[in-house]
Structure 1
Amino acid sequence: MKSNRHILITYTAVLAAILFASCVKDELYDTPHPDSGVVVVTADWSDRSSEADIPQAYTLRIGGLEQEASGETNVFNRLLSPGKYTLTAYNKQDQITVTDNTASVNATSAKHINPTPGYLFASVQDISVLVDDTLRVTARMKQLVRRLDIELTATEGDYSRVQSASATLSGVASVADIATGERSAAAQVINAFRQDGNKFTLFFRLLGIVPTEAQTLTVDIIFNNGDTQRIVSDLTEAMRDFNNGTKSIKLTGNLLLPVEAGVTGATITDWNEVESGNGYAN
């Protein structure tokens, strides 16, 4: 009897020790995932321009795993082993394809890319995931597409004879590295002017410019009698800082048209950047 009582006391003591050790072990963990880490991402859109809306949806990528996200804050839906990762956040956009960290504007022809893709945002950063921890990260979304407006005012000649006009801009980027911001693969964009009296306006949305290339604007005008005019302008100086901002840029110029049919020599003078007020002659 005494022996049985001794065994019972010993068993109870061992069981209590195990339970106590279990309680202590549980208390050492800060999360329900003691062997993994969780990442919570908050998207910051404060650097966007007034023309660009916050995307309804965007993509989060960590360690080759992707998920669709919306709203401001999202929990990455996979537990991650401890270690270093790259967190990429970007929005899928019309006429732009993103593969890994490379964004490419869709082509419309062998020479031209889409002149008005949607606004692309991206954020790329390195993160460190710890076991038994929740990492909270802010993804500051950088706007990679910028709007360029062009307005020409006919100050000479008969603008009512213009049937149509278009502009081709060369030296624009068709590819951007969303991590570094580097632009490459020079291409052209083309768009048609809208005419309202003596005003001719159009706009482009550009992934950027290739800094090593010249930015040349070629304006082609067709008159209602079939005559044509081509005007070439060098906009390199006006656009040299284009990749460094998000606010739309508006370039204006005076359009000098032939005073009568059959006369050549149309020109554009007094190019000016409206936002900065930095005028320059062509």
Structure 2
Amino acid sequence: MKKQLYILMYGAISALLLASCVKDEVYNTSHPDKGAVSIHVNLPQGMGDYTVEIDGQSVQGSGATIVYPTLLSPGEHNLLMYNHPDGLTIADGIARVNAMADTQSNGNVILPMPGCLYSVSTTCTVTADDTVHIELDPLRRMRDLHFELTVAEGDPERIASVEGVLSGIAGTYTLATESPSREPMTTAPTFTRDGNRVTADTRLLGTADEAQILVLTLRFTDGKVQTIENDLTEMLRTFNTDMQTPLKISGTLLTPTAANPGTATITDWQVQEVVDITIK
């Protein structure tokens, strides 16, 4: 009888010890089966508000740090970040330069100086029961192009106005592939004259897969009009390779004179990258 009692007591004690060893599983977060994403954006100067998309779902941001509001399943996810510059429309992963107001019927003449697009396309790997921290460095996706012509023949004061049209440029940009479109568009930079210098600025997503042609129309004070067509394809051949550094194209403008009343021409073309140029 005493032996049986010992056995029963031993069994009860063993059961209590086993019960005390069973613990609830401990998690690090309140979302053990999903992961969170915290994003730090190294904001370029003047970039402004931006959008972050993960797997097509977007959230707006303005400061340097943003926490994605939706918990995500473990694994790899596609991530896009882009700002919202003036003069561009962004939808379905495509950034599109808006058409000029007086040419919206055909849509092929786009704004010459929109705001600057910045974007990032990458992936993030999410871990369940954890927060992944991502640092983004948005890259500039548009390049500034400066034209400067020096009147070396003829009286520059006879030039009443100069109009310019540049064709063969990209009008859209695919954010996921980080590439400008190949469909050629046209823009019309605003040319102004100050003394003997004729200048214009434009900001482009890139060049398209055809020739880049600049057509200038010179209107003189006596009512005469002359047109100069210039093939800039070779000068812009590497335009898409470095969006960070402005490009300057300069030349010598020869206008008709009494001694040489022929057609206006541009000679001595030069191309150079200029870091400290002021784009108006």
Q: TM-score, normalised by structure 1?
A: 0.84
- Residue number in structure 1 paired with 2:71: 79
User: How far off its partner does 1:64 sit?
Assistant: 2.4
Corresponding residue to 1:197 among 195, 198, 201: 195
Corresponding residue to 2:238 among 241, 250, 263: 241
Task: Say if 2:120 is the partner of 1:118.
Answer: no
The one-character-per-residue Cα deviations of 1:175-198 (angstroms, maximum 9, x if unpaired) are: 111222332221111022111100
Equivalent residues in 2 for 1:64-143, closer than 5 Å? 64-108=56-100, 109=103, 110=106, 111-143=108-140
Q: In 2 relative to 1, CA 258–92 (structure 1 residues): closer, same or farther, beyond 3 Å? A: same
Deviates more, 1:159-168 or 1:32-41: 32-41
* Aligned length, in residue pairs: 257
Q: In 2 relative to 1, CA 63–17 (structure 1 residues): closer, same or farther, beyond 3 Å? A: farther
Structure 1: runs of 5 or more not aligned:
1-5, 277-282
Corresponding residue to 1:162 among 159, 173, 181: 159
Cα distance in 1, alignment partners of residues 140 and 50 from structure 2: 13
Task: Say if 2:149 is the partner of 1:152.
Answer: yes
The one-character-per-residue Cα deviations of 1:110-157 (angstroms, maximum 9, x if unpaired) are: 231111111001111122212111111222312111110000000000
| Aligned partner of residue 243 in structure 1, secondary structure | helix
Task: Say if 2:256 is the partner of 1:264.
Answer: no
Cα distance in 1, alignment partners of residues 259 and 42 from structure 2: 56
CA contact (8 A) 1:158 1:260 kept: no
User: How far off its partner does 1:73 sit?
Assistant: 2.2
Q: In 2 relative to 1, CA 222–241 (structure 1 residues): closer, same or farther, beyond 3 Å? A: same
Cα distance in 2, alignment partners of residues 86 and 56 from structure 1: 23
Task: Say if 2:199 is the partner of 1:207.
Answer: no
User: How far off its partner does 1:158 sit?
Assistant: 1.0
| Aligned partner of residue 23 in structure 2, secondary structure | helix
- Residue number in structure 2 paired with 1:21: 23
CA contact (8 A) 2:80 2:175 kept: no
Cα distance in 1, alignment partners of residues 136 and 76 from structure 2: 16
Q: What's the Cα RMSD here? A: 2.5
| Aligned partner of residue 178 in structure 2, secondary structure | coil
Cα distance in 2, alignment partners of residues 157 and 60 from structure 1: 55
The one-character-per-residue Cα deviations of 1:243-270 (angstroms, maximum 9, x if unpaired) are: 1112111111000010149933100001
Deviates more, 1:32-41 or 1:255-264: 255-264
- Residue number in structure 2 paired with 1:32: 30
Look up the equivalent residue of 2:99 and give its one-letter code: A
Cα distance in 2, alignment partners of residues 237 and 209 from structure 1: 11
| Aligned partner of residue 240 in structure 2, secondary structure | helix
User: How far off its partner does 1:43 sit?
Assistant: 1.9
Identity within the alignment, %: 37
CA contact (8 A) 2:121 2:178 kept: no
| Aligned partner of residue 160 in structure 1, secondary structure | helix
